[in-house]
Chains A and B, each alone.
Chain A
Amino acid sequence: MREEVPFSQTHASARPWEAELPALMVRYQHGDPEAVDELVRKLSGMLMQFLGAFGLSRADAEDLFQECWIRIHNSRHTYRPPEPALPWIFAIARHTRLDGYRRRRRRENREVLVANPPDLAAPVNDAPQPDLTEFRRMLESLPESQQEVIFMLKVTGMSLEEVARATSSTVGAIKQKAHRAYEKLRLVLEGERK
């Protein structure tokens, strides 16, 4: 059995910079180039991970990553300080991912034969990252809507209300999805142990 680790210790460093985001967004809206550097540095890891978390090849994830930043840039006027910035960013990222998924599906339906073999399952994370690999594998056992909710709650450390904001949903609906995911994960985790 693993030693109990308090939530505060595991998640205290999840996003200590979160409080700075609204001020950073204001500087970004005012046209400060340094704010762009900081935003890209602070958020890129999380966005890349979110966009590539659902079985995408690295190339597809990178395309979505670029598209997502362009969308964020083009709609930067829709952020209203001092509202929380992460739900705003993830609302845009989520729709970038959904649009990418729809495009890919249409493309796959059209293209039966391809001249070049597709970039099959090249993982987004080439470096060995056991936690993340396990996380992905566990996520895949859940329906997509639950995957998304658990990802936002766990990886980004967003609160239920923030996830509700990012997914244009209600807190009650998010709570229900999280509970269903917990039940399913309990089963998977228990099965693995056996």
Chain B
Amino acid sequence: MRAPTQSGAGMPVTMSDECRQIDMELDGALSQNASARLTWKMSEKALSHLTRCERCRLLYHWLLDGVVPTQPTPALAEAVRTRMKQSLAPVTPQSSPRVLAAQFLLVFLLFSAPMVGIMGTAGLHEMNLTQLFGIVTVLVCGAALLSFSLAWQMSPGSLHRVPPRIAVIALAAGFLAATAVLFPWQEPRSFLERGWSCLKAGLLMAAASALLFWVLVRRGHTLASGMMGASLGAIAGLVGASVLQFTCNRQDAMHLLVWHGGVVIVSLILGVAISWGVNNLLRPRP
């Protein structure tokens, strides 16, 4: 009846199916809001299990017994209140994550499209329909994912459908896979020389677009500044890589991965470094 499982510390734990049901019911209770909890009751089967299983009973009581909250000293609470009231100007609530994400996407498109117009469409003519469709899908999905990720990060307490790290990893994996599968692997000619000029152009565009993205981001609360820097760097780098995709006439896998993908990676690293620098070197310590 009892199936051995592994605990977090790697120690063997024996848990019955009924123990698991207790866990599920506790999850169910903890998932409800305060008013729904008022009417919540454990099932008869689970209650009967509690009378037999000492461990579940202890866990149940430990989890559900009340804990007395600690209060700060009155002087400290008063100091906090006074400080808050000193700058209590009315504020307008920030836009919803959807609106913020749409703004990021709009900046992405409004920056990329004119740049492609200015720099030409040599890359577009080098791609066949499959390559065009595949890479555009990856770039658009990546831009949308990073836009939402930035918007969620700007809104404390919002539900992250995709964690920021996963968004960056998904973009990298998608770009890597699409490039490796869709584009030909050719003998590299003038690999460094041609690639270096692509990297420079891509980084310049990334830097310019990063300023625009920063204008949007600065109003939001940056909870994890490093992750925010990484996401901002990645989306700015993606602008550079997207423009290069349509303007560069070298459409072989190696060039795309190293030099166009490099724009995203270098931008991401710079984003983390800049946010770390701003956070640790420029901001005054409390």
Contacts and interface: CB of A to CB of B under 8 A. Distances in A.
Contacts of A15: 34
A90 B219 CA distance: 20
B198 to A, nearest CB: 35
A23 interface: no
A86 B158 CA distance: 11
Interface string B65-95: 1111111110011011101110111111110
Nearest to B224: A95
Contacts of A13: 66
A40 B220 contact: no
Contact of A73 (B58, B62, B87, B223): B87
Contacts of B57: 1-2
Contact of B8 (A30, A124, A142): A142
Contact of A190 (B29, B54, B71, B223): B54
B286 to A, nearest CB: 5
Contacts of B76: 62, 65-66
Contacts of A75: 156, 221
A55 interface: no
Nearest to B159: A165
B96 interface: yes
A164 interface: yes
Given A7-B29, A11-B66, A142-B8, A95 B72 contact: no
A10 B23 contact: no
A14 interface: yes
Contacts of A165: 157-160
Nearest to B14: A186
A11 B61 CA distance: 12
Given A10-B66, A31-B89, A92-B156, A183 B94 contact: no
Given A186-B56, A189-B58, A160 B27 contact: yes
Contacts of B159: 161, 164-165
Given A84-B157, A103-B285, A165-B158, A49 B13 contact: no
B90 A31 contact: yes
B27 to A, nearest CB: 6
A30 B90 CA distance: 4
Contact of A168 (B38, B39, B83, B160): B160
Contacts of B39: 8
B88 A31 contact: yes
B118 interface: no
B45 interface: no
B55 interface: yes
Contacts of B103: none
B93 to A, nearest CB: 5
B223 A95 contact: yes
A169 B69 contact: no
B110 interface: no
A80 B93 contact: yes
A36 B83 CA distance: 10
A83 B54 CA distance: 39
Interface of A: 1-2, 4-8, 10-16, 18-19, 29-31, 33, 36-37, 40-41, 44-46, 48-49, 52, 62-63, 65-67, 69-71, 73-81, 83-92, 95, 98, 103, 124-125, 129, 131-132, 135, 138, 142-143, 146, 150, 153-155, 157, 159-161, 164-166, 168-170, 175, 178-187, 189-190, 193
Sorted nearest first, the 10 A-B pairs with minimum C-beta distance are A88-B157, A45-B69, A75-B221, A87-B157, A91-B156, A189-B58, A77-B91, A31-B90, A180-B8, A186-B55
Given A8-B39, A10-B64, 18 more contacts: A1-B51, A7-B41, A12-B37, A14-B37, A29-B93, A33-B85, A36-B81, A71-B221, A75-B156, A78-B156, A79-B156, A89-B157, A92-B221, A95-B223, A98-B224, A165-B158, A182-B23, A182-B26
Interface of B: 5, 7-9, 11, 13, 15, 19, 23, 26-27, 29-35, 37-42, 47, 50-51, 54-59, 61-73, 76-77, 79-81, 83-85, 87-94, 96, 152-161, 163-164, 219-221, 223-224, 285-286
